Amino acid sequence: MAEEKSKVIDNRPGWIASINPWVLRVVNNPERVAFVLHRVTGILMALIIMAHIFVTGTPAHTGWEAWVEEINKAQGFSLVTLYFFFFAGIAWFHGLNGIRLLLVEFFGVCIGKPEKPKPPYIAPSLKACQRKLLYLVFLLWPILWAITGYIVFFK
């Protein structure tokens, strides 16, 4: 007799959970937004670095002096300055959040101390200083990005 295969459906969202923080609507969890942003900026940085190697390798064929002159000419809103501005944005977030993650993941600090449950039953790590650092990242990121934008476009 042929064995009946039990039918079950796989309910895993897959890689989409890494780029969409709202696959689940978990409350009191800005770390998940940071996790998604960190992944997305990491992938973008990897792509940009590959493009960067390609672009900086080009003058080997066309001549360094002409290339440096071309880059120096880039002022105001050009393709090169927009690229720098975009790259600065993702690098600032990835770097700032990376420092927070380094403290949390490798040194095991800023995650509070274990405690006995008491109302309102919020896990210690969600109210520890890593959360404050996360808010600091979200605050500093746009400020530093704007300053970089000012330098890139207007200086």
Partner 1 sequence: MTFDPQAATRTPPKKVIFRIKRYDPEKDKTWWEEYEVETYRGMTVLDALLKIKEEIDHTIVMRYSCRMGVCGSCGMVINGMPRLACQTQISEVASEAKPVIELEPLKNYPVIKDLLTDFTKFFNKHRSVKPYLIRKNKEEVEKGDAEFLMTPEEHKELYEYTLCIACGLCYSACPVAASDERFLGPQALAYVWRYVSDPRDEAWKERLEAVDVEEGPWSCHYAASCSAVCPKMVDPGAAIQRLRSVLIKYKLGLFKKKTAKKAVIPKEQVKPKKPLPPESKLVEGVDIEALDKAPVEIPVEELIS
Judged by CB, which is closer to partner 1: 6, or 72? 6
CB of 37 within 8 A of CB of 96?
A: no
| Cis preceding-peptide flag for 120 (omega within 30 of 0) | yes
With beta carbons less than 8 A apart as the criterion, state whether 142 and 37 touch: no
| Amino acid type, 107 | F
Identify which of residues 34 and 152 has a Cβ nearer to partner 1 in the complex. 34
**How near is the Cβ of 86 to partner 1 at its closest, in Å?**
24
Interface pattern 2-41 for partner 1 (x via CB under 8 A): ----xxxxxxxxxxxxx---xxxxxxxx-xx--xx-xx--
Residue 108 neighbours by CB distance under 10 Å: 8
Minimum CB distance to partner 1, residue 140 (Å): 19
CB proximity list for 2: less than 8 A, separation 6 or greater: none
Q: Which parts of 115-154 interact with partner 1 (CB under 8 A)?
A: 115-117, 119-126, 128
The size of the chain, in residues, is 155
Classify 50 as helix, strand or coil: helix
Cβ 98 to partner 1, closest distance in Å? 11
Give the residues lining the site for partner 1 (CB under 8 A): 6-18, 22-29, 31-32, 35-36, 38-39, 101, 104-108, 111-112, 114-117, 119-126, 128
